[in-house]
Amino acid sequence: MTAQENWPKIAVVGAGAVGGFFGGLLARAGAPVVMIGRPAFVEAVKKNGLFLDTLQFQESVRVEASTELSAVRAAEIVLFCLKTTDNATTARVLGSLLAPSALVLSMQNGVDNVEQIEPGRVKHVGRGDLVVGPESEKTKRIAEIFSRARVPCRISENIEGELWTKLVWNCALNAVSALGRAKYGLIASSPDTWKVVETAVYEVLAVAKAAGIHPPGLEDPKAALAGALMIATQMAEALSSTGQDLNRGKRTEIDSLNGYISRRGAELGVPTPVNHALFALVKLAEGRL
């Protein structure tokens, strides 16, 4: 029995930064992985392999790559890493290609994806851990697979709260970085800009409280703001994905970030003027209000 026969077949749909990183680590550990991405990414990976530039190592990993979504056939696990703007159209096609027993893991920004569902090079400078849940035979299997690839993966009974923790950081920094055309470090060093971040964070927490959601470790608003500052400092040279999308003339995920908080706040009667302003201004910058 070969090393790969001990692994499930894995497909990465939307092989960009997130999919490339986690899929690359799985492939590096010996898992049979196919990465489905844009032509430039696929061409680069086929020619030179996937180059992982991490804090721990720099290595080129040989991995199968395809531009065709049909490459997911026979996959037992699918890492769904597309932009949220592509959820509906891709999910419809994906449903006709996968076996009923296949597991699809959404590894995306936002908290409502379940309801919707440099080419060939990945640089990783932030966190690399995963959270799945609630506990079941399926989630225990997923955690074991990622752990075998040396990707820290824990199981949480508060998975909705975990999703909102990430939403807090995204709402705090993504739109501000995009609109100011500023890297995170510059945002952290600007007292006036940080007041905008602070208010955005407090609004998200107010909406979460009204919705009965408890992001772990963020019960104290000051702790939430400290977490945003830590991310901005740790990733000082990073421009947000929203900023990168605007620079490339692409649609952003703002509807799933500050836009989601604006809509949810309106439903719950919680004012969210800063999050709504950030959402509206990014939409205006996209030219599609």
Give residue 2's pLDDT band: very low, low, confident or very high (50, 70, 90): very low
Write down the residue that tokens 């509906």 correspond to. 88
**Amino acid identity, residue 133?**
G
The mean pLDDT value for 111-123 works out to 52
**Cβ-count burial of 2 within 10 angstroms (0-12 exposed, 13-18 middle, 19+ buried)?**
exposed
Dump pLDDT digits (tens) for 201-233: 999 999 999 999 999 988 788 999 999 999 999
How far apart, in whole angstroms, are the C-alpha atoms of residue 82 and residue 207? 26
pLDDT at residue 5 greater than cutoff 70:
no
For all residues of the chain together, what is the average pLDDT? 89
Q: Are 251 and 242 in contact (CB under 8 A)?
A: no
Dump pLDDT digits (tens) for 265-278: 999 999 999 999 99
More confident residue, 280 or 93: 280
The neighbour count for residue 58, using CB atoms within 10 Å, is 10
The pLDDT of residue 211: 97
The pLDDT of residue 237: 94
The pLDDT of residue 120: 56
The mean pLDDT value for 27-54 works out to 94
Ranked by mean pLDDT, which of 18-22, 175-179, 248-252 comes out on top?
A: 175-179
pLDDT at residue 123 greater than cutoff 60:
no
CATH homologous superfamily of 4-155: NAD(P)-binding Rossmann-like Domain (3.40.50.720)
Same fold yes or no, 4-155 and 159-286: no
The neighbour count for residue 4, using CB atoms within 10 Å, is 12
The pLDDT of residue 217: 86
Question: What residue spans define the domains of the chain?
Answer: 4-155, 159-286
Give residue 35's pLDDT band: very low, low, confident or very high (50, 70, 90): very high
The mean pLDDT value for 159-168 works out to 92
Give residue 18's pLDDT band: very low, low, confident or very high (50, 70, 90): confident
* Span 159-286 CATH architecture: Orthogonal Bundle (1.10)
pLDDT at residue 94 greater than cutoff 80:
yes
